[in-house]
Structures are given as C-alpha cells and as structure tokens.
Amino acid sequence: MKKNILKYVIFVIMLSIVVSGCSVKVNESTENKTDQDLKISKNSFSLNTFNTITLYGTDDDSYFESIYGEVTRLENKLSVHISGSEVAMICDNAGLRPVKVSQETFEVIEKSIEYAVLSEGLFDITIEPLVSLWSIGTDNFRLPEQSEINDAMELIDFKKIVLDDENSTVYLTEKNMSIDLGAIAKGYIADKVAKKIIELGLDSAIINFGGNVVLLGEKPDGSAFQVGIQEPDETRGGIVGTVTARNISLVTSGDYERYSVQDNTRYHHILDPFTGYPTDNNIKAVSIIANQSFDADALSTTVLLQGLEKGLAMIESLEGVEAIFITKEHEIYLSEGIKDIFKLTSGEYIIME
C-alpha cells in the first residue's frame, strides 16, 4: 500500500507538471492575479483510489464540499463494499426478490449490460464472486483452488440480471450471484462530478479518479489541457507521452494498477470470465478517449480484456472513441483519430504504424 501511495504521489506530481506546465503549488497568493491565473486542487481517497480534482478560474476551496459530497453520495449507492448500498441490497437479495433502486444505479447497470453484450461477455459485472475469491490487490489475496474458480465462474452470467424499467428494479436470478461496478462506476461518477462543477458555475477543471480523467472545458486562457500517459512499467513512474485535448475523458486501465504477487507471478485485477484468471494478452495498458467518462471507463476494461487486435477493431468501429495501446514490448498502437493529439515523449517506446 505504501508503495502505491508513493507511486501515486509521483504520478500526481508528474501529472501536475504536465498539466500546469509549471508548479504543483496551485493555491498561491492571489495579489495581482486575474481569475485566469487562479486554480485550486484537492486530493482525497475514495472510490477505493486516490483522487485529485483541480478547479481553474477560482481559488475558493469551499466548492470541494459539494463536489466531494457528490462523490460520496454516488459511492454510497454503487459500491458493493458499502453495506446497505443499493448494489449491496441487490446482491443480498439475489435469488430472492427484485430490489427497487434509484434511476442512477439502474442507469449504470443498464449500461454495464450493453457493454457485456458488445464484448460478448468479456465485460461482465456479475464477475463479483470471482473478484472476491481472488481479492487481488488486497491483504486477503490468495491463489484459489481450481474447484473454487469453477464454482465462482458458474455464477457469472450477465443474462441473469433482470431489469424492470417500469418499476426501476434489479433482480439477480440465482442465489449467491453478485455484481461489482468497479470497472464502470468511476467513469459514471466522474461525469456526474463534471456536471456538478458546471452547476456550481465553473467551466474549467480536471477530475482525476486514479487514472480516470475528465478534462472539463479548456484552460482559462483558451488553450487545451495536456495530460501525461503514465509509463506502465512500475519501476519507472514517468510518462510515455502526452495527449492535448479539451472537453474529453481519458481513462486508463492497466495490468499494473492493482495486483498481487505470489511465487514470482503477478496477478492483476482484470479477470477473464471465461478462464477465471487475470486476463493474459499483449496489452500492458490502454487509454481510451471518449466524450463520456462512463463509456471510456467501461471500454478501457473491455479492450484490455479483448487484446490488441480485437480491441483496436472495436475502437475503430465506435463513433467518437479513440485509444492508445501500450504493449508489453513497449510498442504503442494508436487509433486513427488520436494520432494528431498524442505526442510521444519517451525514447523507450515506439509508435507502430
């Protein structure tokens, strides 16, 4: 955990340097400054990750109360790990009865099913029994027995989630089934936070939920934001390149983000529902750029599961979505529409044509 905190601090500093082009100290004296020069950042730990929100054009930290309040409000509905949350209630009632949920929880589950269909079951929120069996990245991690993996896999099937639009209920048809929105909820919440920031009268911000980034608007001087794409080899901690953009979300999934090690083998947190093991292909990390963080988050997990060839084909087939793939061999593959806004900065990587 300590190592992760250190890695995060380095990452935030790198990101801040890239993003601001100058200093990480954002709440400086406001004397002789125009609104354009003002900005303020706040870090927190929620959604099981480290978060930073930077607001531009203000140095008033009272905004953060309602912004982080929004994060907590949604996490309390969507997290399976919070007892009494709507998702926990759905799981508690698996095989028993449908559970009435808010429109927000309904919407996230509905979208998750769309991505399950699109990925032919690779992305599947009913993966939860397998996620908790492995408990990768937690103190409870252990290598499961094959029979336990088989039992957990039996419970994975998104087709057994019954949605009732009219009554706003969700029903898991089998006992012991459960759902985990970890691959999509951060994106959904990031979009909601962006909406909240606009409601508060601001129009320029960077929301970063552990690599799930929303660039809201542009910098107050009218220029685009610049975001660093993290170098995925954990021994380094630098960036491979930058993306210059405004008003988009950029979400990264990687095999380095959460993992456990046993007998010199690394087990990372994105699991293949068809093998029961962490997915194993040539992708080390993938960053998705989309208008909505909701989609970018679901797609980053989906594409990591699909692998390079299928993943790139899927991205190219979708309107308004771009991707940066980093392979284990330090190759970078770019979708067509991102070539103009991605700049390689590391000599350790090459862009493949």
Positions that interact with ligand ADP (CB under 6 A):
122-125, 127, 131, 180, 182-183, 186, 210-212, 253, 257-258, 269-271, 273, 297, 300-301, 305
Asked whether position 300 contacts Mg ion by CB under 5 A, the answer is yes
Residue (75 or 297) nearer to Mg ion, CB: 297
342 φ/ψ angles, rounded to the nearest 5 degrees: -100, 130
How remote is the C-alpha of 173 from its chain's centroid?
28
Q: Which does 216 bind (CB under 5 to 8 A by kind): Mg ion, ligand ADP, none?
A: none
Q: Which does 127 bind (CB under 5 to 8 A by kind): Mg ion, ligand ADP, none?
A: ligand ADP
Residue (232 or 273) nearer to ligand ADP, CB: 273
Q: Which does 273 bind (CB under 5 to 8 A by kind): ligand ADP, Mg ion, none?
A: ligand ADP
What residue type is assigned to position 161 of the chain?
I
Asked whether the beta carbons of 74 and 261 are under 8 A apart, the reply is no
Residue (38 or 227) nearer to ligand ADP, CB: 227
Measure the CA–CA gap between 9 and 268, rounded to whole angstroms.
Answer: 21
Binding-site member from 125, 183, 215, 324 for Mg ion (CB under 5 A): 183
* Minimum distance, C-beta of residue 234 to Mg ion, in the bound complex (Å): 19
Q: Which does 271 bind (CB under 5 to 8 A by kind): Mg ion, ligand ADP, none?
A: ligand ADP
Residues 6+ apart with CB under 8 A from 341: 243, 244, 245
* Minimum distance, C-beta of residue 268 to Mg ion, in the bound complex (Å): 13
How remote is the C-alpha of 340 from its chain's centroid?
24
Measure the CA–CA gap between 16 and 23, rounded to whole angstroms.
Answer: 7
254-268 in b/e burial notation, b at 16+ Cβ within 10 A?
Answer: bbbbbbbeeeeeebb
Give DSSP secondary structure letters for 206-242. Answer: EEEETTEEEEES--TTSPPEEEEEEP--TTT--EEEE
What residue type is assigned to position 162 of the chain?
V
Binding-site member from 301, 306, 327, 335 for Mg ion (CB under 5 A): 301
* Minimum distance, C-beta of residue 308 to Mg ion, in the bound complex (Å): 17
Q: Which stretch binds Mg ion (CB under 5 A): 71-79, 107-115, 176-184, 240-248?
A: 176-184
Residue nearest to Mg ion (CB): 301
Q: Which does 257 bind (CB under 5 to 8 A by kind): Mg ion, ligand ADP, none?
A: ligand ADP
Q: Alpha helix (H) ranges present in 168-207?
A: 185-199
Asked whether the beta carbons of 255 and 248 are under 8 A apart, the reply is no
Measure the CA–CA gap between 235 and 78, rounded to whole angstroms.
Answer: 33
Q: Which stretch binds Mg ion (CB under 5 A): 39-47, 94-102, 155-163, 291-299?
A: 291-299
Q: Which does 269 bind (CB under 5 to 8 A by kind): Mg ion, ligand ADP, none?
A: ligand ADP
Q: Which residue has the tokens 């949350």?
A: 85
Measure the CA–CA gap between 353 and 334, rounded to whole angstroms.
Answer: 8
* Minimum distance, C-beta of residue 65 to ligand ADP, in the bound complex (Å): 25
Residue nearest to ligand ADP (CB): 182
Measure the CA–CA gap between 248 and 250, rounded to whole angstroms.
Answer: 7
* Minimum distance, C-beta of residue 8 to ligand ADP, in the bound complex (Å): 12
Burial degree of 299 (CB within 10 A; 0-12, 13-18, 19+)? buried
Asked whether position 297 contacts Mg ion by CB under 5 A, the answer is yes
Q: Which stretch binds Mg ion (CB under 5 A): 43-51, 102-110, 118-126, 295-303?
A: 295-303
Q: Which of residues 245-274 bind Mg ion (CB under 5 A)?
A: none
Per CB under 5 A, residues contacting Mg ion are: 183, 297, 300-301
